[in-house]
Chains A and B, each alone.
Chain A
Amino acid sequence: MSAADVTGDDRPEVDDAPAERYGCLVEERLGQVVLHAPRDGYLAAAKAITDDGFTMCVDLTAADYLGHPGRRLPDGVRAERFEVVVNFLDMAAARRVRVRVQVPADDPTLPTLFDLHPGTEAMEREVFDMFGITFTDHPDMTRILMPEDWEGHPLRKDYAVGSIPVQFKGTN
C-alpha cells in the first residue's frame, strides 16, 4: 500500500468471472473499489456490505450528471441523471468501498439507509436539500442547509450559481 493510497483493498479478487459482489458490479478505479448497485438492490447491497464488516457509513452524497451524461460506466449500468454515492469503511480491516446508485430524474427516490446507519440522517437530508432526491422511510425528510421556504435544489446543474454582476456603487 503506497503512502498515497488510502483504500488498499488487499483481499484477493473473487475470480475473473463477472466481477460482482453483494449484487453489484465491481469496478476498480485508481486503486479504489467502486460498486455499482442497481436501484432495487441498493438496500440489500448496503445490508450485505454492512454485515461484511463495513460498519461505518462514512459519507453519503450525490451528483447531478445533467451536464455530463456520457460518463464512463461499466456495461450493464444504465446512466441516469442523478447518482447517489455512499462510502463505507471497515475499520477492522482498514478497507473502504464506494457504492454508486443511479437515480432517474423522473422518480428521484431511494430507500433510506437510516435504519442500518443512523449517521446517514443528516447526510440524506443534505442530499434532499441540495438535489431533491427523496429517501423513503427517512424519519425527517426536511431541508437542512437552506431555509425552510427555499425553492429549488441548489446543487442541481439547472440551478444557477446565483451570482450577482459585480458593479461599482455610484456609477450608472
Chain B
Amino acid sequence: MGIVNDLMDDGLGALSHNVITARVETLINWARSRSSWPANFGLACCAIEMMATGGAHYDISRFGMEVFRASPRQADIMIVAGRLSQKMAPVLRQVYDQMMEPKWVISMGVCASSGGMFNNYALVQGVDQVVPVDVYAPGCPPSPETLLHAIETLHQHIEDGQILRRRSETGAGANVHVREIPSSGQPVPVLLGNR
C-alpha cells in the first residue's frame, strides 16, 4: 500500500528504490520453483512418508506443494514414492507422458531409485528405467526431512535453470514431441516419444 500511495503522490519517481531488474527467465524459474504441484504417485511405504510430509508436522505447504493434483495434466513434479512393479511400469510412463512441460521427477526411496532391497523379477530396478529422474531421495523410507531436502534440491535446480540446460545437452526427458506415422488408412494411435 505504501507503494501505491507513493505512486499517487509522486508518480513514477516514487519507484526509484523499488525496481528490481532481472531476466524474465529468472522470474519464471523463481515462480516455478515456489509453486510446483506434485502429481499423486504414491505406491507403497514411501507414499505414507510423503503423506506425512504433507501433514501438519513437516508441512510441505511451506514450499507451495500441498496440492497433490489428482490429474497429471495439472501437475509439475511427479514424486514416484515406492516400489515400481513390472505391472505398474506402463502406468507410470502413461502418467508421466500426460504431464505438461516443464515437468520434473523425484525418485523417492531406494526402491524407486534402484530397486532397493528387492533385486528380483517383480520390480523395475529403478524408475529411471522408465522415466527420466531429476533428484533421487535415498532412504527406506526416506524420512520427511529427507524428502523435503530432495524437494528443496529440485527447487534449487529449477531456480538455477540447470535442469533445462542439462536436458538440452543430453537430449533426455523434458522434450516430448509427437511423431506422425505414415498413414496406412487405418486409424493409428498418436505416439508420444523422446528424441
Query: So, do A and B actually touch in the complex, CB under 8 Å?
Result: yes
Contacts of B122 in A (CB 8 A): 146, 154, 162
Write out the residue numbers on chain A whose beta carbons fall within 8 Å of the beta carbon of B125.
164
Q: Check A147 for interface membership: any CB of B closer than 8 A.
A: yes
Whole-angstrom CA separation of A166 from B125 in the bound complex: 10
Q: Is the Cβ of B86 less than 8 Å from the Cβ of A147?
A: yes
Interface residues on B, range: under 10
Majority-rule SS of B interface residues:
loop
A161 at the interface (CB under 8 A from B): yes
The residues of B that contact A163 with a CB separation of less than 8 Å are 119-120
Q: Are A154 and B119 in contact (CB under 8 A)?
A: no
Q: Mark A150-161, 1 if CB is under 8 A from B, else 0.
A: 100010000111
Distance to closest chain A CB from B88 (angstroms): 9
Contact in complex: A162, B87 (CB < 8 Å): no
Set A146, A147, A162, A166: member contacting B120, Cβ < 8 A: A162
Interface residues on A, range: 10 to 19
Contact B87 A146 (CB under 8 A): yes
Q: Are A161 and B121 in contact (CB under 8 A)?
A: yes
B121–A147 CB distance below 8 A: no
Interface positions of B (Cβ within 8 A of A):
86-87, 115, 119-122, 125
Enumerate 18 A-B pairs (CB-CB under 8 Å) in ascending A order.
Answer: A145-B87, A146-B86, A146-B87, A147-B87, A154-B121, A154-B122, A159-B121, A160-B121, A161-B119, A162-B120, A162-B121, A162-B122, A163-B119, A163-B120, A164-B115, A164-B119, A164-B125, A166-B119
Query: Beyond A154-B122, A164-B125: 17 further Cβ-contacts under 8 Å?
Result: A145-B87, A146-B86, A146-B87, A146-B122, A147-B86, A147-B87, A159-B121, A160-B121, A161-B119, A161-B120, A161-B121, A162-B120, A162-B121, A162-B122, A163-B120, A164-B115, A164-B119
